[in-house]
Every structure is written in C-alpha cells, then in structure tokens.
Amino acid sequence: MNRGHEYRKERLDRGIKVRSDGLYSLMSWRELSYLTLPRLILICGLLLLPVIVPGMYWQRVISIVCIYALLALSFDFLAYHLGLVCLGGAFFLGTGGYITAVLNATFGLPPVLSIPIAAIAGGLICTLLLLPCIPLRGVYFAIVTLMYPLFFDRLIVALDVLGGTDGIMGIESFPGSQAQYYVPILLVLVCLFGMRRLVNTDMGLMFRAVRDNDQAVRASGININIYKAIGVFIASAMGCLSGACLVHIYMWAGISLLALDFSILPIAATVIGGSGTLVGPVLGCFILVPISELLRAFGTLRIVFYALILVAFIVVRSEGLMVYAQRKYHQFERWVKV
C-alpha cells in the first residue's frame, strides 16, 4: 500500500540530551551548559527578583509567592511522589505559624531559632495528628486534612486560646528588610533542590513505589506506613516552615493562617505548573500569586477572572507548563513519512 501522502509527527530526544545524560556531560561546555543553564536561570532569576521588582509592595508579594511556593512544593511531593492528596496546606502553615508566634512572642526566641524549631516541631505535631489516617488512601486522607484547619480555627476562637480572634501580636520581624526578602527565596531554592535530590534517592524510589502499588510494596516486606509517615513529616515540616516565615513577615499570627486560600492556591499552582515536576508548582505560584495581586483592580470580580484563567489552563493545557517545557527542551519533533 502506498502511503506516500501520509505523514506523522515523530518525537525524538535531542542529541545533546543523550550526550549529556552520563559522565560525558563533562565533555564540553555546550553539554555542561545544557544541563546547568536552566538551573542557573532559575537560581539567578529568583535571587535577582527582589532587586528587579519596583517598590516595597511587589517585594512583599515576592515573599508571599515564596510562602505559597513552599506549600505547593509540599503538596506536589505528597500527591505525586507519595500518593497522598493533602488538602490541608493551611493546617501545616497554621501549625508552623502559631508555634513560631508563641516561641517568639512568649518566650522571646529570635527568628533564627524560632523558625527552624517551628518547622521541626510543627512537622512532628502534624505528622502525629495525621498518623491515624496515614493508612487511608485517596479521598479519606484528603477529607481529614481538609477538616483539620477548620477544626483548629473553630477551636482557637471558641476556647479563646493563642490570642483567640485577635491573634498573637508583637512578633519580631526579620532582622533587616534584605533578610525578609531573601530568607523565603533561599528557603524555596534549598527545599526545591533538596526535594529533587530526595526523590531521586532510594527513599524517593520507596515513596513512588508506595504511590504506585502499596500492596506490592507490602508484599516485599516493607512497612509502608513508616515511609508514608516520613513523607508526611517532610512535607508538613516544609509547610510549617512557610508558616513560620509568613508570621515573621506579617509580625502577627491569627486564625487567617488557617484560611482555605493556603490549601487551595498551592493545588491550583501545582496543576498549572505541571504536577510531579517539583519545579512546576514553584513556577505556578510565581504566575498565580502575582496575577491575583494584579486582579485586585477588578475588586470583587477578581475571583471570577482568577477562576476563568484556571479553568482555561486546565482545559487547554492540563499537562502543566513545566511538563510541556521540559518536553520541548529535551525533545524535538519532525514530520516523517509513515
């Protein structure tokens, strides 16, 4: 049969990708830069951002973006590397935020100490609270994590503890405005590259195996709950870290830390950025949060435009920006005769 008129698009790895896969990447500057350039652009771009953007207001926005980026990173890690869909970003953020607020306002610890302590202690508390539902999968885990922030929100108001509706005031700011801008950015970079390293280790392999088929992992004689708990600890510590930073930026901790925004927006950012890529969610936050700031001009219609952008993204390119970009970077396409 003559197929002279029929063509199909072929997708192949770029030569340079194949060349730079192994040790041979050290062969020449071209291969080296193929590997390092995207990472360098990301690092330098993030570090330069506070200098480029105009004015205090946008510098503040960048810091908030980084807070969201940490939450999105934790969501992406839990959902796509461990198979636990967590709708409780606000729970992590609130726990970290309140711990650092108490440590700083009541016990007078400086941010240098209170933030790391809040991250680790918060991670432990969140993991302990989620421990009963760690064996659950799918929608059950999601519902429990969604309920926790609502639960603590009401509890704080009803019992009037931790400042009640007024929140905890008089919290120290970061020492100097430079620190305030650069600490969140550095944290995002460290967490991002740390997580990428982690998911490529043997433990990351374990996490993915638990996501793919927990029965098979159990059949290999491995206790999956331990690995799930470790994963939840890592993710919740990251969330608590972001909460601690946010409290020191706002110099205030209140029940708005447990607002639904902190649970939902990171998920949207993950979808837009490309789930499972880890870089994608961070990128998604850098798109979504500034857009939501720009849309403030529309007043109450803000959410409408915001939702429209989100829906359009999901319908047109549900794979996510980063997945698309990576494919274009690593592969090329050409028409070939069938």
Partner 1 sequence: MLEARDMMVFYENMVGLNNVSLSCDVNRIVGVFGANSAGKSTLMYVLSGIMLDIRKKELMAGGERISVFGSITYFGQDITNLKPSQRARKGIVLCPERRRIFTESSVLENLKIGGYQAPKARFRETLDYVFSLFPDLGKLKKRTGGFLSGGEQQMLAIGRALMAQPTFLLLDEPLLGLSPRIQANLMRATKDICETRGISVIITEQYARPVLPIVDYAYILENGSAVLEGSGQEMMNNEDVRAAYFGM
Residues that bind partner 1 (CB under 8 A): 1, 3, 6, 8-12, 317-320, 323-324, 327, 338
Residue corresponding to tokens 């698009």:
9
Q: Which residue, 12 or 294, is less far from partner 1 as judged by CB? A: 12
CB of 317 to partner 1, least distance (A): 8
* Both tokens assigned to 92: 């992590």
CB of 280 to partner 1, least distance (A): 11
The secondary element (H helix, E strand) that includes residue 335 is strand 331-337
Q: Which residue, 254 or 320, is less far from partner 1 as judged by CB? A: 320
Check: CB of residue 225 under 8 Å from CB of residue 206: no
Q: Is 292 helix (H, G, I), strand (E, B) or coil?
A: helix
CB of 2 to partner 1, least distance (A): 10
Q: Which residue, 23 or 315, is less far from partner 1 as judged by CB? A: 315
Q: Which residue, 2 or 165, is less far from partner 1 as judged by CB? A: 2
CB of 281 to partner 1, least distance (A): 16
Check: CB of residue 185 under 8 Å from CB of residue 191: no
* Count of other CB atoms within 10 angstroms of residue 300: 6
CB of 327 to partner 1, least distance (A): 7
CB of 276 to partner 1, least distance (A): 11
Nearest to 70 by CA among 237, 290, 306: 237
Length of the chain counted residue by residue: 338
CB of 31 to partner 1, least distance (A): 24
Q: How far is CA 201 from each of CA 204, 207, 237, 306, rounded to the nearest angstrom? A: 5, 10, 19, 37
Q: Which residue, 287 or 323, is less far from partner 1 as judged by CB? A: 323
Check: CB of residue 174 under 8 Å from CB of residue 248: yes
Q: Which residue, 12 or 155, is less far from partner 1 as judged by CB? A: 12
Rounded to the nearest 10°, the torsion over CA 63, 99, 126, 261 is: -40
* Both tokens assigned to 283: 């990128």
Residue 17, C-beta contacts closer than 8 angstroms, at least 6 positions apart? 34, 330, 331
Q: Which residue, 11 or 296, is less far from partner 1 as judged by CB? A: 11
